[in-house]
Structure 1
């Protein structure tokens, strides 16, 4: 099976590739895997180091907006897993241009090329943020899309495009929407790796507002296993939620991280809340459970402790990336 994984050098995409090539998803075993990644700041070859020498892996540096490149890569492809995206909400608030370019136009380019090439299955990986904020209960897959940030709006737009290519052209597309991911190799701009690496460096962590924003947390291994199940058995045209089943406030999560690293609240500073900050997300993943047999297997207590240990033991991997990223942010701000 020839499989193309876009964004396969990023946090979630590389985890999927490593697990796939390790044989952890038996129905997809034996695949020839092509990773297409533009290797922006968040994607790098270190994430694929463990499988870089596998003869069944080909890595292509390129942009999903490149029509000729994408068209060539998708010939004779049975499966596309589309992870590639601009994802950081704060950067989308500062400038949404790259988010529209990659998440909307890039996805459209992939969908068009996949349709023209007769790709056997296309899994579009999305996020719970497309729904906006929820006071109580959990979203089902047919909930209205009410994105709050430019990032979430760009992902909602891509979801609608994916659905339209199934309805209009018959492309066998499935859409997955996940909770907040965490785990090893995550780029240190997101909350968990940012807080861990700040604390390891003796720096205070920035807690938005009153810290009461609530999120469901999903280990990347559970997420990727859910995506593999959708790739195997998901019904074309359908949306599947992949959740973690652990809802915490940002303040509660901060307390857990402080405890794991033996620190106290003197290491926390309150910062002004993010513009348009959604208060709460929660996914009902009963559909994926009933149809595909999905359940999260990594307990949050175990997964978070393992994640902290990974950052403690792999400073050589994240420290240079974080320094370059922070230098870029300062330069962009004129500092």
Structure 2
């Protein structure tokens, strides 16, 4: 089979491309690349130069393709308009073009953020979607837009992961970096709020497995790791892997929001939109858990990586590449 991948130079996308290149099922892997190959350097793939606004490049990538993996998205932006343009409109245009090119097997990466925070029990696919950020709202709107334009012959799989960690990840990385210096920042009391996490290779397995399901219609799946976790548990595992004692720095949710507001205001003076912003702070104070039971029942997805193994692999990679 021939695959076309968007977002292949990013964290999740690069791991997906590696797995597709190594798979006997895919004879050709094409990737949309805006500038540099980044993590794809040295891999046996076909480079399609362009971005999501370049219809000629997208058309070339989709030509005679069997599967479209749409991973590209933006996760932070100062305005809803930017999120809508990148995550909603670009996805709609890509799906419409895929339909014109006869590509029926489509896998789209969404997010738990589209469903919104949980409240004592993990989110399932039947729960109402209640996003609390512009990013989450854009992913929810993307899902709705795709449902509106889907045809009866399309087989569209929407994948919603929770927090994704692993080698090359550069946002949750800040947590591990702080722990490596002996300080473990924890929002709340350490037991609540709880979180779902998924190691990147497990997410990739879920994405590729979903692509193997060609039943028509729209199929939505949460792809998560085993169970849910408290930050005390995550701290304990991280400290053990690092081989050092970490001091928990427990931060009240209100202080998180105030600090984010200050950081965002200062950054705006330099024309920068920071990773730690008011919207992100609001998300960090809530519970984010989901269940992969539907994916296990329908596509046979089973996470293979324990939290301890995943964190160990991640920190090992950070050390080898001098991130820690």
Partner residue of 2:215 out of 207, 212, 235: 235
Partner residue of 2:64 out of 76, 85, 93: 76
Q: 1:234 to 1:77 in 2, by over 3 A?
A: closer
1:220 is displaced (CA, Å) by 0.9
The aligned residue for residue 202 of structure 2 is 222
Deviations 1:109-161 (A, max 9, x none): 11111111111311111111211121222222222111111111111111112
Deviations 1:250-291 (A, max 9, x none): 343234323322344447474514135462222222222122
The aligned residue for residue 50 of structure 2 is 62
The aligned residue for residue 5 of structure 1 is 5
The RMSD of aligned alpha carbons is 2.4
Matched, 1:29 2:10: no
Residue 35 of structure 1 aligns to a residue in which SS?
strand
Q: Any residues of structure 2 matched to 1:39-188 within 5 Å, and which?
A: 45-51=37-43, 54=44, 57-87=45-75, 91-92=76-77, 94-166=78-150, 168=151, 170-186=153-169, 188=170
CA–CA separation in structure 2 for the residues paired with 1:75 and 1:296: 33
1:209 is displaced (CA, Å) by 5.2
Residue 282 of structure 2 aligns to a residue in which SS?
coil
Task: Give the gaps of 5 or more residues in structure 1.
Answer: 320-335
Residue 247 of structure 1 aligns to a residue in which SS?
coil
Q: Any residues of structure 2 matched to 1:8-19 within 5 Å, and which?
A: 8-19=8-19
- Say if 1:197 and 1:311, in contact at 8 Å, map to a contact too: no
Matched, 1:310 2:302: no
Task: Give the gaps of 5 or more residues in structure 2.
Answer: 258-280
Aligned length in residues: 296
Residue 103 of structure 1 aligns to a residue in which SS?
helix
Q: 1:50 to 1:71 in 2, by over 3 A?
A: closer
TM-score, with normalisation over the residues of structure 1?
Answer: 0.80
CA–CA separation in structure 2 for the residues paired with 1:96 and 1:134: 23
CA–CA separation in structure 1 for the residues paired with 2:26 and 2:156: 21
CA–CA separation in structure 1 for the residues paired with 2:187 and 2:47: 38
Deviations 1:178-236 (A, max 9, x none): 222111121x22x2x22223444x48565445553321111111111111111011533
- Say if 1:77 and 1:119, in contact at 8 Å, map to a contact too: yes
CA–CA separation in structure 1 for the residues paired with 2:42 and 2:239: 31
Residue 74 of structure 2 aligns to a residue in which SS?
coil
- Say if 1:7 and 1:38, in contact at 8 Å, map to a contact too: no
Residue 214 of structure 1 aligns to a residue in which SS?
coil
- Say if 1:9 and 1:37, in contact at 8 Å, map to a contact too: yes
Deviations 1:93-115 (A, max 9, x none): x4444322211111111111111
The aligned residue for residue 288 of structure 1 is 295
CA–CA separation in structure 2 for the residues paired with 1:154 and 1:110: 16
